[in-house]
Amino acid sequence: MNNNEILHKVDNNKEILINKMYVGRYLNDNIGHEVINLIKSDNGQNYIYVNPYGSMDKKHNNKIDTILLVRNSNIKDTFEILAQAYDLEQVNFSQRKNKDREKQLEYIYENSIKYNDKYVNKIFYENEKNEEAIYISFRANKVKRPKKPIYISFLPTTQKDICDKDSKYILIYLNSCKQQNNTNKTNIVNIAKQSLKMYIGNKEIKYNNKIVDQSKVFEKLKYIIENSDYWKKENSTKKVKEIIQEYENGTDINHFNIIDIIDKNYDEVIFSNMFKYIFSANPKAFCSFANTVLKNNFKNNKLNLSEQFNIEREKGHTDLLITDKTNKNIIVIENKIKSGINGKDLFLEDKKVKGQLYEYYRYANGEIFEYYKNKFFYIFVPDYSYISETDLYPKNTYKIIKYSQIYDFFYKYRKSFENVLYFKEFLYALQKHISNTDNILEQTTHKRFIESIKSKN
């Protein structure tokens, strides 16, 4: 990589801070302070709040070169980089002390740090009403978002990084160095499960009574940060007014509905019941869905569903069982959100138990359904689901349908459901699961923030 390709040259004598966003029980009832990280304030500046508490250990003061803002992905110990923030000015000066609060408020008012004409401390005041609260950790003069998804993984592996130009995403394995056994030194960087921030320097540190050489990980992160091919040229974070406009126009996914109120965003039973209700509400539209979205997953089988279908819940323990006597079709649908495939680890030839998908397959092929000649098997999953075709048994039988495929179809034909009660709520509930990342907490945080800055109080 030559100098012309460098976006931002990382100082080898400083540290890279990895800061995890949108996690923890705190977000269940409060506005996450990190929501400001990717939003421009009224004065056009970006300010960064470092989780947790906004503070850092004093030994890291003035040592942070770049902050990588990350969130959880659907892969264990693997995080998606949302942005890099650099050219930093540190704003917090100690750890939750009264004197720091005084400096914070002075800085906020001197720089008129507002969002929709509301001072940042007023937005988060109701969270804690804490005299020691910290509202801002850094001012970032430069914030860049990735051109395509970038993931960093702490999983122990010997796999090669995925960073060629033709790939749809970038995946960097930070734990790819081999551990030096029987010594007090290791090259592996283990992620601290409870920590929301990690400091990576071009040096050795002590971790769990061993010496950790961070230099290789530092170099990998440095490569990501500096590579201009990975980052948008301009700061693409949005201004508050843009976000409010999107929210009010209904073009974002921060809508709050009954599923949020009863805290059932991950409840498979609720979603399966909604599928049955919506599928049955407009048989003609569902036949179009079956004959296009579902049919496209089978090249050799013809799915021609008639409008005289019957749909049942928990028939033979299946989530949805659809029978069509007219055209002799039977459709089995298993719906998964957070759970995996029960018994999938028992898919061995010498095992009698083949798992739940095999049981549904066997049930649909039993004598009671001998009349139905055309049999189709599907599994509905959120886009962030880790379930893949290799998990499905019998092989080449079940096909995966992403929630985004379901959402796209019903959104396209939403006018056909104008008179169907709760159809909009159905779409909003689906919409929370069509991202490649499980980001419901992120959506909820943004919604609360928007409502707070719109409030005159």
pTM of the complete model beyond 0.85: no
One domain, residues 220 and 277: no
**Any bridge partners for residue 377, and if so which?**
332, 398
One domain, residues 162 and 79: yes
One domain, residues 224 and 175: yes
How far, CA to CA in Å, does 329 sit from each of 290, 291, 302, 433?
11, 12, 10, 29
Does 450 reside within a domain?
Answer: no
* 122-149 pLDDT per residue, tens: 888 666 555 567 889 999 999 999 999 8
pLDDT of 56 over the 60 cut: yes
Nearest-angstrom CA–CA distance, 254 and 51: 22
Tokens found for residue 417: 């459901």
Mean confidence (pLDDT) of the chain: 83
Given 230, 253, 276, the domain boundary residue is 253
Query: How far from each other are the two terminal CA atoms of the chain, in whole angstroms?
Result: 52
One domain, residues 263 and 247: no
Is residue 360 within 8 Å of 332, Cβ to Cβ? yes
For the segment 145-161, the average pLDDT, to the nearest whole number, is 87
Taking phi over 0 as left and psi of -120 to 50 as alpha, with beta for the rest, 151 belongs to beta
One domain, residues 279 and 373: yes
Phi, psi of 450 (to 5 degrees): -60, -45
One domain, residues 36 and 167: yes
Task: Count up the domains in the chain and report the number.
Answer: 2
Does 363 reside within a domain?
Answer: yes
Most confident of 193-197, 322-326, 338-342: 322-326
Does 200 reside within a domain?
Answer: yes
Buried b / exposed e over 228-261, threshold 16 CB at 10 Å, is eebbeeebebeebeebbeebeeeebbbbeeebbe
Given 253, 279, 311, the domain boundary residue is 253
Nearest-angstrom CA–CA distance, 105 and 82: 28
Geometric angle at alpha carbon 195, from 194 and 199, rounded to 5°: 155
One domain, residues 93 and 195: yes
Residue 381 binned pLDDT confidence (cut-offs 50, 70, 90) = very high
Does 301 reside within a domain?
Answer: yes
One domain, residues 394 and 270: yes
Does 315 reside within a domain?
Answer: yes
Tokens found for residue 222: 């440095």
% of the chain surpassing 70 pLDDT: 82
User: What residues make up the domain containing 294?
Assistant: 258-431
Does 157 reside within a domain?
Answer: yes
One domain, residues 68 and 195: yes
For the segment 399-416, the average pLDDT, to the nearest whole number, is 94
